[in-house]
Structure 1
Amino acid sequence: MTVREWAAEFFAAHPPGKASSSARREIAWRVHVEPRFGRIPISAVAPSDVQIWVTELVALRSVSTARQALGVLRQILDVATADGVLTRNPASGARLPRAPRSEPCPLTHDQLWSLSAAMTSERDRLMVLVMGYGGLRWGEVSALRVRSVDSKQSTSSGGVCRGQWAAVPRCREDSRISNGAAPSTDCGRPACMVQITRTG
């Protein structure tokens, strides 16, 4: 039995839970796994073959693409191993290099305000600015209420976050820090945004 034939049975018996997961799995299989292993007998797949393939994928595409494709191949061969078709999974020992950590690249003041201006409601415009300057995730900003903000004390508080007012666009890493600096107005924009320190 070839890898392609076994994969057809695997996909039929193990449908993914979400449509997005199904699409990613299908693309990884069709674009990367099947062209390399589809015609090979499943018992002929060697660990060295898998490692060479993964290394080539990392060089030609990216670590994340190689990880997705390797995950699909591993799942297929895991089931073949569990069913006794293989004595061991030849993909289980394949190693991937660590993905390089990307440097944060927050929007400039003008970019953030342009994005805010493109929103269709005042609420959405304000949420974009709070997320941009405060570094909040969607779940955090959507949990904020009017009572969470004390404009006199220049603070915000709530079940998910607490912080000080600031006027510097933040990235996610920065949102863990509240340095107590005074609001800056050198960008020509109102100093009315929130710098967040997460509390839980």
Structure 2
Amino acid sequence: MGTTKAGSSNRGLIIGVVCVALVAAGGLFAATTGLFGGADEQLASGDTDKVMNALSSIDNEKFASADNRDARAKALDTLKNSSIESVFDRMRSDDLTEEQRDKLRENMGQLMREDMERKVDEYLSAPETDKQAIMDRHIDEMVAFRDKMRAYRDKHKDDPEAEKEQQERRQNWTRPTTQQRKERMESRNPEKMAQMMRYWPKMMARAKERGINMGWGPGGGRRGGGKDK
């Protein structure tokens, strides 16, 4: 009888340890899914907060992978339909660590580059009869985004933190390090660059025809004398 009790006790102890291990493993799996697999779901969620959370938690290498192409497109659509205040307030949030802020900026830059590449592809592959209408739509989108950026900047012009961030953007824009220049050159796709060089002069010429100043500067767009419409 003593042996039986001991055996039962040992079995109970083993079962208890196994249960604890399973719970711990489940928690680890859930945490890992929240950081990685969960980020993919958040990108495609259509919810601005979830998208911004994913952008601040996922490494750019993983974010830029082909597996996440559809999720990136959905994330961009979500952000385009969000107020610029909700996006930029999140980027400036004190809740973010510097690492999260860096990931957010890098991934946002990835989305903007891909959006521009889609515009270029759409324009260059379109029939000649459709090109002007497509270019006009692109210009209108870029002008609307620029004006929202300016409005946000003007709204926060007396905010010391906003001014500090703007100065940092100017510095990063005007004085890239040798390593940064090297990395940018190495990361550029020659074919994409050639397509951009074909698109950009046509876009600027069409904007000029319409009396639109497309000036952009380090702070998000410089003011000029041209008409917007």
TM-score range, shorter chain: under 0.3
The structure with the greater share of residues assigned to strand is 1
Taking structure 2 as the reference length, the TM-score comes to 0.22
TM-score by length of 1: 0.25
